[in-house]
Structure 1
Amino acid sequence: MSKSIAEIISAGEGLRTEFKSRIDSPAKIAKTIVSFANTSGGLLIIGVNDSGVISGVTSELTELQKLEKANTDFIDPKILIQIKSEQLNGKKVLLVTVEESKEKPHYVVSDKGARTIYVRVKDKSVPIPKLLLYNSDNLETEKLLASKHVKSLVAYLRIEDSVNARFYSRMINVSEKRADRMLHDLAARQILLKIPGTKPEAFSLKWTE
């Protein structure tokens, strides 16, 4: 891990980081684990609240049991996670590492059997109807990623949360209609992800190197 845990906590939650003071329920934490595995992987830190304040876990065993139940009862196919405990400011926190999965898509399975795909958008786990996978062997996609317009967009979205067609059209000096087509094409290739419920329609960065 290139950054220390303290540095990660200081940077706050994001695409690949989430804090939980404790696990509320196996069903809820399953959404976070699945969204990390379906996107770019991530680190779940238990014992830290949303503001980055270290509260520590009161019972490591209880949190581990909830993680196990989440994987066993609410995730399909199951996801290999790595769990490590650390002392921070005299308090114990759990570090749950979830790698980007080669078996995606993974589903969150409800008590009633409903199956939902979750992905990571900014610092949230959001449901989507289906998951299209980025194919690194696709020469057309590789060429697209190497283009000036897409390079500019990816660089922008590594800093900002999202972009819409109007803003992108001004960024690359094309019509809004063309910018909209380009954004949807990138979403279809799973380089971008359409953010549900946004008006005007917005996109975030899905693919990362």
Structure 2
Amino acid sequence: MRYTIEEIRQMPEGQTFDCKSIHIEPKALANTIVAMANADGGMIAVGISDKTRRIEGVNQDKAHLNEILRTPFDFCVPTISVTTEFMPCQDSEGNDNHILIIHVPASPRLHANQADEVFWRVGDKSRKLPFEERLQLMYDKGERYYEDSPAYDATIEDIDMDTVKAYMKRIGYGKSPMEYLQENKGFLTYKGDVPQVSTACILLFGKRPQNFFPRARVRFIKYYGTEEKVGREMNVIKDVTFEGRILDQIQKTIDYLETQVKEHSYLGEDGLFKTDREYPKFVIQEMTVNSVCHRDYSIKGTEIQIKMFDDRLVFETPGKLPGIVRTDNIRHTHFSRNPKIAEYLKAYDYVKEFGEGVDRMCRELSAIGTKEPQYHLVAFIMKASVWANVLEEGQEKTISDQKRPESDQISDQIKMILELIKEKPQISRSEISHKMGLHESSVKRRLKMMVDKGIIQRIGSDKGGHWQISNN
């Protein structure tokens, strides 16, 4: 968008705009450019006094103007790729002149001035960051990864080598667990003779990860209604916490969420049972994996919280959106805050293809008529809301739109399960689920009911056994 000189003159200084006098020293201007590049980017108008808003112009001092133009290259480390333009104007003395407009892009890298000072734009100020905040910004931008930092006080004895072996088998690594940890991904390094066990190693392979990261866990809270209430009006129905290694947390969380998702099965016009769900299964999995995989583990004061309301699921994850990811580009932009954790989960098929998950979620939600996930940052917590495909209790969707009693539906489902068992006694729950278009948790309930009523019985183990239909 192009502005007029008067519009720029009247524009208030803020997060993404600043005015500077032509007399500003390049070293001082570098601080503002660095701050904007490290934050959200912005625009700097040189030649307008930031104190009086008097239009000075830049033509009168060509030598100094050249120093200003070289500032992003000579005084910023690394160089910042700004774009510039000259806007014609009439200065305060009535002479034809120009204003220099510097457009500063938001950068995926961390930038400093020549003195190795890092600045961050906060409102209309360029704030110098202390060491801890600079380190956090390096994590956020992927200049460094917190998952590579040593887990304080962790030793080799805290690593579950059987878990390492299981992962090695999955990726086809043929050496010993110790060789894998030492030679790959920096899971185990040495400072002198002292082993340094990385954060990622403990989170993925630790015997008890919560001994080192107590809040590296997932908490599920279910509320009655559409609002979160406290005190006497507290409306919490369920409150469950999932701990353990990252893979365990994800598996337990997804399995539990599946028990809380409403679904309605009905007979389609093709004679097969179909199921409508509040949330697509892929969406449940992807949101859970994203939260656990991409959370900021350097934030130790809170856990991931998944809140279920009558009309939505809210995933609250510690950490800002990482790197170049923004709420307006999240659907098609990928950036791993924890690339080693992401690669591990990809081996277990939880990360299908880097960068495609959010787009697929949006497509699946659109297919059932619900809107895309909504993201917003509250302090240091990223909140992602997924809206439900709200289903009325007892809802049936048939071609004739006629409701059938639930007892009839269950009776039909039992008959179909019996036919499938007759055809293949060793059939699994997942196969029954696929053939019937019924969720696996619903199949499990139907099979249990049939066993309890003596209709069928299980012969042998869950994996190697088979179903037998009773004669009575």
**TM score, norm. by length of structure 1:** 0.59
Contact 1:23/1:46 (<8 A) preserved = no
Distance across 2 between alignment mates of 1:88 and 1:73: 28
Q: For 1:115-134, list aligned pairs within 5 A.
A: 115-128=116-129, 129-130=134-135, 131=137, 132-133=140-141, 134=322
> Which of the residues 47, 63, 66 maps onto 1:64?
66
Q: Secondary structure at the match of 2:34?
A: helix
Distance across 2 between alignment mates of 1:56 and 1:24: 13
Aligned to 1:77: 78
Deviation at 1:125, TM superposition (A): 0.9
Deviation at 1:94, TM superposition (A): 1.0
Distance across 2 between alignment mates of 1:18 and 1:30: 13
Q: For 1:76-115, list aligned pairs within 5 A.
A: 76-89=77-90, 90-102=96-108, 104-110=109-115, 115=116
Structure with max Cα Rg: 2
Distance across 2 between alignment mates of 1:86 and 1:44: 13
In structure 2, relative to structure 1, the CA distance for the partners of 1:23 and 1:42 (3 Å cut) is farther
The two structures, once aligned, show a CA RMSD in angstroms of: 2.8
Aligned to 2:21: 21
Contact 1:85/1:94 (<8 A) preserved = yes
Distance across 1 between alignment mates of 2:65 and 2:6: 21
Q: Secondary structure at the match of 2:6?
A: helix
1:30 aligns with 2:258: no
Larger RCO (CA under 8 A, 6+ residues apart): 1
Distance across 2 between alignment mates of 1:14 and 1:42: 9
Contact 2:36/2:106 (<8 A) preserved = yes
Deviation at 1:53, TM superposition (A): 2.2
Aligned to 2:379: 183
Letter in 1 for 2:123: K
- How big is each residue's C-alpha offset from its partner over 1:64-112, in whole Å with a ceiling of 9 and x where there is no partner? 22331x334321110112222222223321111111123x1111121xx
Q: Which runs of 5+ in 2 are unaligned?
A: 91-95, 142-321, 336-356, 359-372, 383-472
Q: Secondary structure at the match of 2:13?
A: coil
Distance across 2 between alignment mates of 1:13 and 1:41: 13
Q: Secondary structure at the match of 1:96?
A: strand
Q: Which runs of 5+ in 1 are unaligned?
A: 155-181, 187-209
In structure 2, relative to structure 1, the CA distance for the partners of 1:38 and 1:59 (3 Å cut) is same
Contact 2:5/2:87 (<8 A) preserved = no
Distance across 1 between alignment mates of 2:98 and 2:120: 28
Deviation at 1:2, TM superposition (A): 4.6
In structure 2, relative to structure 1, the CA distance for the partners of 1:100 and 1:125 (3 Å cut) is same
In structure 2, relative to structure 1, the CA distance for the partners of 1:91 and 1:73 (3 Å cut) is closer
- How big is each residue's C-alpha offset from its partner over 1:19-71, in whole Å with a ceiling of 9 and x where there is no partner? 11224222111111111111111111111011322121222442222331x33
Letter in 1 for 2:49: N
- How big is each residue's C-alpha offset from its partner over 1:144-199, in whole Å with a ceiling of 9 and x where there is no partner? x826xx4xxx7xxxxxxxxxxxxxxxxxxxxxxxxxxx52335xxxxxxxxxxxxx
In structure 2, relative to structure 1, the CA distance for the partners of 1:119 and 1:23 (3 Å cut) is farther
Letter in 2 for 1:77: P
Q: Secondary structure at the match of 1:52?
A: coil
